[in-house]
Structure 1
Amino acid sequence: MIPAIAVHRLDKRFGATRILRGVDLSIEPHERHALIGPNGAGKSTLFNLIAGAARPSAGRIELYGADITRLVPAAICRRGLARSFQTTSCFAKLSVFDNLRCAAQIANRDRMRWWQRFTNARAADEHAEQVLDAVGLRARRDAIAGTLSYAEQRALDLGLALASGAHTLLLDEPTAGMNRAEAAHAVELIRAATAGRTLLMVEHDMDVVFGLADRVSVLVRGEVIATGTPEAIRADPVVRAAYLGDLGGDLTGNLGGHLDDTDGATRGTTR
């Protein structure tokens, strides 16, 4: 089976500093895959390279077997990969529905002749309505996006990716800044909304990682040191040592201080 995302010997340098060191990573179609690691491990850099926001110093990136290493983000998006960021990226002055409608129209734009773009509005509207339900924002359909709560804006971000028609999604810390109840709701939303799609996410909350991911890869100092099921990663002594040194600890909770507080309050973001 051709991987949805395949990364081969990927390197990234900023001047003399080597951020990624020969990263190999394979994400299977329809898999939910989490990328975890300590601060400064290179997770966001790897995401930027896959999404086309930066160019690697060496190596190759493939999307369903096609080389996307040197493509710009718009070209990669047209091939079916969409990315959400740590901060929300919606149009704050448009309604929730109009945000989704814009994404749906852009998704179809490059597949149509110019005269078809005026007759395809109904299809875009119908797709936007479907996505509203998928991300649980039906009751907020006509609300201005800038007035949504933080958790609702993250749901809208997910909706924009879905409305674009993407079959492969990159989610960058999708529950960062949420309290425990919001995070639990977000996990259920992501699980339902991404059914049948491929998901690669960066996440620091181990409850989210172990509750959502089919497999987990651990990035430390620019290298993938382990890939496996959540259960295998939780028990891996190499992973435990990478996070906790000689302190031991429980991978179901905070990993070596790289997650946030555990008192149920709002959690901050880390990179």
Structure 2
Amino acid sequence: MTALALQLRGIEKRFGATRVLRGVDLDVREGERHALIGPNGAGKSTLFSLIAGERRASVGRITLRGADVTRLASAALARRGLARSFQATSVFANLSTRDNLRCAVLASLGGGTGLAARWFGATRASKRVDARATELLDALDLAHAANHAAATLSYAQQRALDLGLALAGGAHTLLLDEPTAGMNRAEAARAIDLIRTMTAGKTVLLIEHDMDAVFGLADRVSVLAQGRVIATGTPEAIRADVAVREAYFGAPAGAADA
């Protein structure tokens, strides 16, 4: 049986009297690309924030590679190998593309909590940091823009850099929040190819509204509706599921397959 990278059991999230998540169970296998889809307001972003340690679940348990991480914050999860990218790019606009990646690599190396310790670690690790940054620049097809300020990159290039920042620390599990949002069809196709290449052998859980991206990238798909997972299966099974079409695609029961 394939080991689980992420497991969620009975996850609920309440904001006051409002229940946003209602007993979510989800299994994400090691090394798979797993898409989370659902209509607006289904609770996808809230669920991501719980997995990433930005908020805490009201009820339930989250495990990462078998370890209970329900109460851990983002920084602790990053040290355990979980990284997240956001809908909006999170690059340092005024730093060069290379320095963005160097910062991300350096942060992953640790070396102490004080400023002096970090700079001492940076000096000792500079060759290692530069080598990893160069490796990522080449893989992301951003070597030509290594010395350009991140703010001058195109939107699609900034999203590629954002993926590089998430990968810089060698994370084994990635949360990607709408990685093709705001892109045209050609840019989205290139982004999906890049994700497929850059995340080979890693575990990916992504939120995505572009169904071409979902069905072209994901090994399995889970559908979230009204705070609950209503279906999980292969892209083909999800596409053919009547309940999914009713809840997400808006097709009535008995309608022809999309």
* TM-score bucket of the superposed structures, by smaller chain: over 0.9
- Give how far 1:136 is off: 1.6
Q: Which residue of 2 aligns with 1:21?
A: 22
- Give how far 1:164 is off: 1.9
Once the two structures are superposed, the pairs formed by residues 96-245 of structure 1 within 5 Å of their partners are 96-110=97-111, 114=117, 116-243=121-248, 244-245=250-251
- Give how far 1:229 is off: 0.5
Deviations 1:145-201 (A, max 9, x none): 011110000000000011122111100000000000100110101100111111000
Counterparts of 2:131 and 2:112, CA distance in 1: 17
Q: Percent identity?
A: 63
Q: Is the 2:35–2:220 Cα contact (8 Å) retained in structure 1?
A: yes
Using structure 1 for the length normalisation, give the TM-score: 0.89
- Give how far 1:138 is off: 1.3
Using structure 2 for the length normalisation, give the TM-score: 0.93
Q: Which residue of 1 aligns with 2:43?
A: 42
- Give how far 1:110 is off: 4.6
- Give how far 1:68 is off: 1.0
Q: Which residue of 1 aligns with 2:252?
A: 246
Counterparts of 1:66 and 1:117, CA distance in 2: 31
Deviations 1:61-111 (A, max 9, x none): 111011111111111111111100000000000000000000001111158
Show structure 2 runs of 5+ residues with no match. Answer: none
SS in 1 for 2:4: coil
Count, aligned residues:
251
Q: Is the 1:240–1:249 Cα contact (8 Å) retained in structure 2?
A: no
SS in 2 for 1:26: strand
Amino acid across the alignment from 2:184 = N
SS in 1 for 2:176: strand
- Give how far 1:35 is off: 0.2
Name the Cα RMSD after superposition.
Answer: 1.7
Q: Is the 1:32–1:214 Cα contact (8 Å) retained in structure 2?
A: yes
Show structure 1 runs of 5+ residues with no match. Answer: 252-271
